[in-house]
Chains A and B, each alone.
Chain A
């Protein structure tokens, strides 16, 4: 019999990007933009509509391995300022977690402080808040490289 448990975890990551809030927001809200830094051969965005009630679905995993599915629903969208999304993460047919994520885009001089807060319920020990935080950090590293390359090319 499966051992049932729920672990609740909240993490907050802050990053300062050398770009305006509108620019950083667009990287998250425009599907074409987001694909360029958030997606790779093992992770694809299937559906994305950034508006209240809009869905975002991404899927991927190592070849031959389990398929991970991120399925989210946008709960609050304030252009250039804030996104709130409620999402689940599954591994094949198993629900790993349910979470609510807030992204705040705060102007700091000519730069942007992104405040990324993720509150999650991690089910039955399949995944952990620490692992989720590490994965989120890697995503933000990719965003930073994407924005840096763009500045260098300008």
Chain B
């Protein structure tokens, strides 16, 4: 019989970007931009990605981890969107069909001078086989590095 365990944890990340809230928000809302910083990455192969950025929208992505040799899926549901200001979503992750986490995430975009302060809060339920709070926070921190590159790239392309 599987040893059952559930852990509840919250974490918070703040990070600034050299772009307006509208531009940082657009990197989430536009499919090609999001694919570049959020979906694609080193160490895994993207099998599937469906973009559906709207309240009530459901996004599904599937990717193969080269290191683990297993298939991960991410199902995301958007619950609140205030353009340029806020995104609230729930996402669940599975490894080889086994759900290991369910998270409620809030991303707030606040103008700070000519830039943006991102305030990201995650409230997570970690099930059996989960990475846990520290690793999850590190994962998002890395993604926000990718987001910063995307936002810079867009600004350079626009010049």
| A76 near B4: Cβ-Cβ < 8 Å | no
Which of A8, A75, A120, A123 gathers most chain B CB within 10 Å? A75
Q: Are B121 and A86 in contact (CB under 8 A)?
A: no
Per the bound structure, the CA–CA distance linking A152 and B11 in Å amounts to 46
* Contact B102–A100 (Cβ < 8 Å): yes
Question: When the two chains form their complex, are residues B80 and A102 in contact, meaning their CB atoms are under 8 A apart?
Answer: no
Main secondary structure of the interface of B (DSSP, over half): strand
> Pick the contact of A10 from B8, B92, B102, B106 — CB < 8 Å?
B8
Q: Which of B55-78 contact A (CB under 8 A)?
A: 55, 77
**Number of contacting residues on B, CB 8 A?**
26
A102 touches B125 (CB 8 A): yes
Number of A-B contacts (CB under 8 A): 80
Which B-chain residue is minimally distant from A77 (CB atoms)?
A: B99
Given that A52-B99, A100-B90, A102-B8 are contacting pairs, would A4 and B82 also be in contact in the complex, using a CB cutoff of 8 Å? yes
Number of residues from A at the complex interface, CB < 8 A? 26
In angstroms, Cα B9 to Cα A102, docked, is 12
Mostly, the A contact residues are: strand
The answer to whether A98 and B80 have CB atoms under 8 Å apart is: yes
B residues touching A (Cβ–Cβ < 8 Å)?
Answer: 4, 6, 8, 10, 55, 77, 79-80, 82, 85-86, 88-90, 92, 99, 102-104, 106, 108, 121, 123-125, 127
Closest A-B pairs by Cβ, 7 of them: A119-B123, A98-B79, A86-B90, A75-B102, A100-B104, A121-B106, A98-B88
